Amino acid sequence: MTRYLGIDASTQSMTGMIIDVEDSHTLAETSINFDEHFSQTYGVTHGAMNYGNGVVHSFPLMWVEALEMLFDSLRRDGHDLSTIRGISGSGQQHGTVYLNDRTDILLKNLSTNKPLHEQLAEAFTRPSAPVWMDSSTSDQCVEIERNVGGADALVSLTGNRIFERFSGPQIRKFFETDPEAYERTAHISLVSSFIASILVGEVVSVDAGDGSGTNLMDIRSRQWCSAVLDATAPGLLRKLLPITRSDEPAGTIHPYFIDRHGFSGDCRVFPFSGDNPCSLIGLGLVEAGAAALSLGTSDTLFACTQDAINAAPDEACLFSSPDDQHYMALICYMNGGLAREAVKDQYQLDWTGFTDSLVQTPPGNGGALMLPYFDKEIVPHARQGVIRSNLDASIASDNVRAVVEAQALSSKLHTQWLENSGPLHVTGGGSANPEILKIFADVHNRPVHCHPTTNAAALGSALKACHADRPDRPWIDLVTPFVSASAVIEPDPSTRAIYSELLDAYQQLEASISS
């Protein structure tokens, strides 16, 4: 068998991708949208529940239901899951799942006589999971940073400054607000390791790629950092399994999935990772210096680096690559796809109308600018609030261009430290829109390489499963046939001066909100 399955448990959907590495072909790509299937059951919008005051959670049982629905969908589409040799996956980073001491027994004894989500309903000490959009942990960030000896000490240990969305502050908040439930928590999983645990039938470890996004991992040893664990919550190490290598098998698939969905008993499950690290693999960034842009619910710009260094500790994150050799430098924007969608909805447009607005407006937008902080922003660290400069709020087309140009300008401004002039590889739902990509190509003054799939995280997961199963195969040889650009958008030289001037104006506007 030469087929591998990658599963991406993202913010808004559960996606499965089957690849055949013999002929370097994608056989299936199927998604289960959470809002479409679960908005009534779980009350989610864009895959999560916003409780206000920065509290944003999702529901592990919803992910369980979506996983089962995904397998059903793949089989209905005619895909024989018994031909899959290995599975790996990705999960939206930073989300934490809190499990009690019954979880291992519940997972071990899964039965096809009852729906999967019903069997796991009693596994949690907390029914919901704080996810990356949660920004309610400012106090905990201050406390952890102080407890560990300051910002510089934390960056030196973990490669990252303290971020509200990271797992460490979220765990500390749970300990502080519900110490009894924290004490009853036997295991703390990430989204990625939670899904992998279901497939294996026992609680399994996180890999270093996803462990990097917790503020709890030593970035150089790729193991939990005792100093930061102690600074976060008491007894935390007992609730975390040791971090595992990406190529170390988590186990064979549980008999439930053999009997219920037709998987082979020989199918192995390999550690899942975070969606951003898996996108690094799925875009073929397995050599230092390559950079990419993910236009998803959030926008992220990231690069493969050789060393565990953080050139911009106030803004950038540093994760371990799932290849267990390189690192991934990344900046993340809260106001990515959700901001584009907010503008679309504000002016009662569909996506065709949104695209037409980009076509109809000139590069530079006549100097009109927007700071599109429809939600609290991460880069730069800014409060919620949309700010317009020389921009008429009543003109839909100008505001459409303004939100996209703002995102491109900000990504240019805040990644100059990467010093990379090669092509910008793109993925995510927004990468399907060539007019959006044209603006990014012009602003960055570099070619934008489009890829056949917009779901690099799922592809990276499948490739990761293959490499773990066949470790003798070099990464570059494995990924290259799958990541050749389907289209290249070259920057328009005539826009260079326009965007150079606009970048200066944008930088001044951004600086004005923090001055």
The predicted pLDDT at position 452 comes to 79
Domain boundary among 246, 276, 306: 276
Q: Quick check: is 468 in a domain?
A: no
Rounded CA separation 478/56 (Å)? 38
Three-class HEC string of 38-97: HHHHHCCECCEEEEECCEEEECHHHHHHHHHHHHHHHHHCCCCHHHEEEEEEEECCCCEE
Q: Quick check: is 480 in a domain?
A: no
Burial label, 264 (beta-carbon count in 10 A; 0-12, 13-18, 19+): middle
Domain boundary among 225, 242, 276: 276
Q: Quick check: is 457 in a domain?
A: no
The predicted pLDDT at position 415 comes to 87
Total Cβ atoms within 10 A of residue 476: 10
Range 342-368 average pLDDT: 98
Task: Say what the alpha-carbon torsion angle 174, 179, 185, 190 is, to the nearest 10 degrees.
Answer: 10
The predicted pLDDT at position 420 comes to 67
Would the pLDDT of 515 be above 70? no
Among left, alpha and beta (phi > 0; psi -120 to 50; other), residue 36 is alpha
**pLDDT band with cut points at 50, 70 and 90 for residue 310:** low
Asked if residue 206 and residue 83 are part of one domain, the reply reads: yes
Range 149-175 average pLDDT: 94
Asked if residue 298 and residue 254 are part of one domain, the reply reads: no
Q: Which amino acid is present at 307?
A: D
Asked if residue 205 and residue 346 are part of one domain, the reply reads: no
Q: Quick check: is 61 in a domain?
A: yes
Asked if residue 336 and residue 264 are part of one domain, the reply reads: no
Asked if residue 344 and residue 272 are part of one domain, the reply reads: no
**pLDDT band with cut points at 50, 70 and 90 for residue 416:** confident
Helical packing angle, 396-413 and 351-360, nearest 10°: 80
Q: Quick check: is 351 in a domain?
A: yes
Instruction: Give the range of the structural domain holding residue 92, as residue numbers without chain letter.
Output: 3-276
Asked if residue 369 and residue 235 are part of one domain, the reply reads: no
Rounded CA separation 112/442 (Å)? 54
Asked if residue 288 and residue 205 are part of one domain, the reply reads: no
Asked if residue 13 and residue 34 are part of one domain, the reply reads: yes
Would the pLDDT of 306 be above 90? no
Would the pLDDT of 209 be above 80? yes
Q: Which amino acid is present at 131?
A: V
The percentage of residues in the chain with a pLDDT greater than 90, rounded to a whole number, is: 84
Asked if residue 331 and residue 270 are part of one domain, the reply reads: no
Range 9-31 average pLDDT: 95
Asked if residue 321 and residue 376 are part of one domain, the reply reads: yes
Q: Which amino acid is present at 422?
A: G
Asked if residue 222 and residue 114 are part of one domain, the reply reads: yes
Q: Which CATH number belongs to the domain containing residue 103 in this structure?
A: 3.30.420.40
Contact 160, 211 (CB under 8 A): no
Number of independent structural domains in the chain: 2
Rounded CA separation 295/10 (Å)? 13
Rounded CA separation 312/316 (Å)? 5
Range 455-473 average pLDDT: 95
Domain boundary among 228, 254, 276: 276
Q: Quick check: is 464 in a domain?
A: no
**Residue 330, H or E segment:** strand 327-333
For residue 321, give the nearest of 282, 281, 270, 294 by alpha carbon.
281
For residue 280, give the nearest of 308, 296, 306, 303 by alpha carbon.
303
The predicted pLDDT at position 446 comes to 94
Burial label, 26 (beta-carbon count in 10 A; 0-12, 13-18, 19+): middle
Residues paired with residue 50 on neighbouring β-strands, in sequence order: 56
Query: Torsions phi, psi of 49, nearest 5?
Result: -115, 120
Q: Quick check: is 469 in a domain?
A: no
Contact 478, 466 (CB under 8 A): yes
Rounded CA separation 441/489 (Å)? 7
The predicted pLDDT at position 70 comes to 98
Q: Which amino acid is present at 163?
A: F
Q: Quick check: is 479 in a domain?
A: no
**pLDDT band with cut points at 50, 70 and 90 for residue 312:** low
Rounded CA separation 259/257 (Å)? 5
Contact 371, 387 (CB under 8 A): yes
pLDDT digits (tens, 9 = 90+) for 382-408: 999 999 999 999 999 999 999 999 999
Rounded CA separation 81/262 (Å)? 6
Would the pLDDT of 53 be above 60? yes
Q: Which two tokens stand for residue 305?
A: 């680096």
pTM of the model: 0.86
Task: Identify the three-state secondary structure at position 216.
Answer: coil
Rounded CA separation 297/165 (Å)? 15
Asked if residue 500 and residue 430 are part of one domain, the reply reads: yes
Range 119-126 average pLDDT: 98
pLDDT digits (tens, 9 = 90+) for 250-302: 999 999 999 999 999 999 999 999 999 999 999 999 988 888 998 988 999 98
Rounded CA separation 226/146 (Å)? 15
Which of 79-93, 337-351, 446-460 is predicted with the least confidence, judged by mean pLDDT?
446-460
